[in-house]
Structure 1
Amino acid sequence: MQDFPYLSVLTGLPLLGALVVWCLPKAKPELAKVVALAWSLVVFVLSVVMWVAFSAGGERFQLRESYQWIPTWDARFTFAVDGIALVMLMLITVLVPLVILASWHDADKSRRSIPTYFALLLVLECTMIGVFAAADVFLFYVFFEVMLVPMYFLIGSFGGHQRQYAAVKFFLYSLVGGLFMLAAVIGLWVVGGHTFDWAALTSSEFATNTGRWLFLGFFLAFAIKAPFFPFHTWLPDAGGAAPAGAAALLVGVLDKVGTFGILRYCLPLFPEASRWFAPWAIALAVIGIIYAALLAIGQNDLKRLVSYTSIAHFGFIGVGIFAFTTQAGTGAVLYMLNHGLATGLLFLVVGMLVARRDSSNIRDFGGAGKLVPVLAGVLFFAGLASLALPGTAPFVSEFLVLIGTFTVNKPVAVIATLGIILAAAYVLWMVQRTTQGNLNPALLDEPRMRRDLSVREKVVVAPLILLILFLGFYPKPVTDVINPAVQATMQDVGKSDPAPISGTTTEAAVK
């Protein structure tokens, strides 16, 4: 089982499926949808087998593959996963089939080819898997850049209002970040012994100033992708214009490449620079938590509101990463997974509501729960998960981040906690204005607003609800996989957890 090339096959399968779907006749759109869904389910089954083959107590990186690519640069097709990458790969393969099913009619009104839409979703899956599975810095950079292309076309060709503006803004922001990374990648190759191999580079030592400049090049690219404040302004536009399914992948997975990149590349490759920049990174993360939450409260567009909530959530992830404790780090990685599930569900449900009204403006709703009570109930649940209600998966990760941060930086933990209060405000106010209160008479004139969740839509939301509840009460299967990778990353940075203060040592510890 360990010898099977899981990662290369997992990366290549969606691309092959995209070619098959793209070649299908435009006159048979239903066939394209069915083939895309079936193909994504095959990828999901393979990822489950890969999860079983991964040993949580084994080596840090497993399922390694390496193939010659560009000998002159010592660039190779090298794939390997640790626990952090593994959970992100599982998130991708879980979300993509659900997004395809939820997007069944998203492209029907478009003048574009329906097979092209679903082929782009599979191409996007290929690039997302590749960027998390890469263990060669140059290969990672290639997937990091190519990943922009399918999302650009999904937004620009199949999106809603101001889709072209949003697509160009998304592409330009990401491209600028990619240029910073390219400069850092070239510099890393020059001073790192003319190699792109991650394992070899982590054993290299860089001069202090060199390491800090290289760290900054990578960090700027990842901060834009995440996005952290003040590099966030592209996300509300892209999330608001993208089709609901594409937006769920954009916020649920693509943005995680930023925080994953910090954990995989910034911290292990440049430990001294990571420690030096940590206070600045935490400051940006804390500002993002409060600032984005306040902006979310003032939004009247449902999709933009959900996008702003994600910026706030990424602030928590940033705090967890740069707190440099195992608890906070594990919470940050778990937050990446749980945010993908909860916000993915929220975006998909918002998309279902918007499709019934042909509007994402909150003012066009009001009392919708009287007409679609099940849909309103799922929206309420997704909102509660997004604000990290106890019993849902995001609560566990948020709690770990705050506890792990509190042990080393109490003021930051206290300020970040204010984000929880603001989250309750923007989520509950959104639910109140859309599904509660007096019924908007205009909704009665819209026949689609009288149709509650269909069987297809129930199949989409049910797995996400079950996963959110299961991981909310029993996260151990995931934390057992994450913990060893987080501990190894903390060792790379040269940080260890603070010693616990007991009753007999409190006075000495304080002194």
Structure 2
Amino acid sequence: MSTYPLLSLAIWIPILAGAFVLATGNDRNAPLARMLALIGAVVAFLVTIPLWTNFDIANGGMQFVELKTWIPRFNINYHLGVDGISMLFVILNAFITIVVVAAGWEVIEQKVAQYNAAFLIMSGLMNGIFTSLDGVLFYVFFEASLIPLYLIIGVWGGPNRVYAAFKFFLYTLFGSLLFLLALMYLFIQSGGSFSILEWHKLPIGLGPQIWLFLAFLIAFAVKVPMWPVHTWLPDAHVEAPTGGSIVLAAIALKLGAYGFLRFSLPIAPDASHELSSLVVALSLIAVVYIGFVALVQADMKKLVAYSSIAHMGFVTLGFFMFSAMGIEGALVQMVSHGFVSGAMFFCIGVMYDRVHSRQIADYGGVVNTMPKFAALFMLFTMANSGLPATSGFVGEFMVILGAVKLNFWVAFAAASSMVVGAAYSLWMYKRVIFGDVANHHVAELTDINKREFAILGMLAIATLWMGVYPQPFTEVMHASVNDLLHHVAISKIQ
């Protein structure tokens, strides 16, 4: 195992790179700002690679641990570590940061330095969330990550960007306040410790566990987002710039789901069992009902936004089956959704940059003028539909397989939603891409350039790799998932 502080580097390299980009000043130095941002993003990604290559797959505990005293008076520490559950998300986050910096290379022309710096800083803060083992440190990163995304939507978004950014911030802040109360209770119960790993071992009665679980549920459900606290997401996606939509779907939605595995299940295991039917019900509503909502959307971004809610429903469904197949399938779905949803939003951004419309009715026959783009867009649409041999199939298949062991009708409802997913994805693709050239805007389209092809190519390779050969992704999480399930099962017995 590496002796270098890899987790600190994964957090602070993008944050410091963002500070250097900000220092380039106004838009006269935009080329320098873009180059510094890309270099910072690439370096931040490279330092995460040893996390995977040096990872001990037989060890379900925390690895690459860093521990230093931060605020000794309150026993608050700078405590970092990753296990098989969190490691892949650090790498995914760093990879997506390269994508979003490249995605805005030619499109963003105003406040270029500030735009790129916001993404770099947010990348570092999100890595802090995935690696924090101290409750206060986690909460600081958890809250601070809202600020760059709020600015990205509010400054570089669409006509209703201020409303969307404000709604996003209020929803997530409300959940976070309940989360803070839960952290204070755990601090008192543990005798003055903010160690998340120590909180996992606390002997808490069922009554307090239920209150803790509900506080966690509200905080993380807003982030996922789960039905019925999902309404901020379509507005945020529609108004966000392309890069904002990519990082929101690919990474930000994963923070809430990750919270369930780091807090809800291990800290309140008995309450998790008692209230699992509630979470399963909410997840099925998201999977089935939101799929039908996506089917009637006229705006491509809104359609993919609702699609994200439905796909994340599979994630929360998998978590509360209490089986290795379900949780690992949910984790695979989270990583896959990062690739596929990021690619879908980038494809929509490619068309929007040329036509300045996201309405499905304004397109038609795009394949005639953009054949390379149409081929790649087809791959991601199929992955979004859950086509076998793409990453979109693997996670959903594992969750459905786990659901069969839990309850046939739960599995049936989840599986039927894949038909709806294929319907809205392929229906959108048909109307936008196939047919005769619909209007002069489509007739004047130019195919993707080298930059756009490189971005979509990277995402295509990741989507196919995970779909054809998912073992490298599943083997790293297996020991950690088994340890978590053993902890939850033992707690239930006691």
TM interval, shorter chain, is over 0.9
In structure 2, the partner of 1:44 is 45
**Residue matched to 2:422:** 424
**1:238, distance to aligned residue in structure 2 (A):** 0.4
1:181-200, aligned counterparts within 5 Å? 181-200=179-198
- What SS does the aligned partner of 1:84 have? coil
Shift in Å, 1:495? 7.2
1:305–1:444 CA distance, 2 compared to 1 (3 A): closer
C-alpha distance in structure 1 between counterparts of 2:332 and 2:191, whole Å: 34
Specify the code of the residue in structure 2 equivalent to 1:338: S
Unaligned runs of 5+ in 2: none
Partner of 2:470: 475
CA contact (8 A) 1:350 1:379 kept: no
Structure 1: how far apart are the matches of 2:287 and 2:76? Answer: 38
TM-score (norm 1): 0.94
Correspondence for 1:440 among 438, 441, 449: 438
- What residue in structure 2 maps to residue 23 of structure 1? 23
Aligned to 1:53: 54
Tell whether 2:6 aligns with 1:11: no
Query: Quick one: which of 138, 142, 145 aligns to 1:140?
Result: 138
Name whichever of 194-203 and 222-231 sits farther off.
Answer: 194-203
Partner of 2:449: 454
Alpha-carbon distance in structure 2 between the residues aligned to 1:486 and 1:419: 26
Provide the rounded CA distance (Å) in 2 between the counterparts of 1:363 and 1:438: 13
Matches of 2:397 and 2:156, distance apart in 1: 38
Where does the alignment leave 5 or more consecutive residues of structure 1 unmatched?
Answer: 497-511
Instruction: Tell me the alpha carbon deviations over residues 460-508 of structure 1, each in whole angstroms, 9 at most, x when there is no partner.
Output: 0111101111111111111110111111111121179xxxxxxxxxxxx
Select 1:245's aligned residue among 239, 243, 246.
Answer: 243
Distance 1:123 1:157 in 2: 16
Identify the residue that residue 296 of structure 2 maps to in structure 1: 298
| Conserved? CA contact 2:365–2:442, under 8 Å | no
Deviation sequence 1:58-111 (CA, Å, 0-9, x none): 251100111111223211111000011101111111111111111112321x4x
Listed one character per residue, the Cα deviations across residues 374-402 of structure 1 (whole Å, up to 9, x for unaligned) are 11221111111111100101211111100
- 1:63 alignment partner AA: F
Cα gap change, 1:452/1:184 in structure 2, threshold over 3 Å: closer, same or farther?
Answer: same
CA RMSD of aligned residues (A): 1.3
Q: Which residue of 2 aligns with 1:64?
A: 65
In the alignment, the residues of structure 2 paired with residue 64 and residue 375 of structure 1 have an alpha-carbon distance, to the nearest angstrom, of 43
Range with greater deviation from structure 2 (127-136 or 184-193): 184-193
SS at match of 2:66: strand
Distance 1:369-1:210 versus aligned 2 partners, 3 A rule: same
For the 8 Å contact 2:60–2:483, the answer to whether it is kept is no
SS in 1 for 2:85: helix
SS of 2:16's equivalent? helix
| 1:156 Cα offset (Å) | 0.3
How far the C-alpha of 1:444 sits from its partner, in A, is 5.0
- Residue of structure 2 in register with 1:509 after alignment: none
Aligned length: 490
SS in 1 for 2:58: coil
Distance in 2 between the 1:379 and 1:155 partners?
25
Q: Deviations over 1:228-278 (max 9, x none)?
A: 111100000001111111111101110001111001111011110111110
Identity %: 35
- SS of the aligned residue for 1:28 comes to helix
1:267–1:492 Cα contact (<8 Å) kept:
no
- How far, CA to CA, are the matches of 1:400 and 1:427 in structure 2? 21
Q: Indicate yes or no: 2:351 matched with 1:353.
A: yes
Q: Structure 1 segments of 4 or more deviating over 2 A?
A: none
**2:393 aligned partner:** 395
1:488 aligns with 2:483: yes
Equivalent residue, structure 2, for 1:115: 113
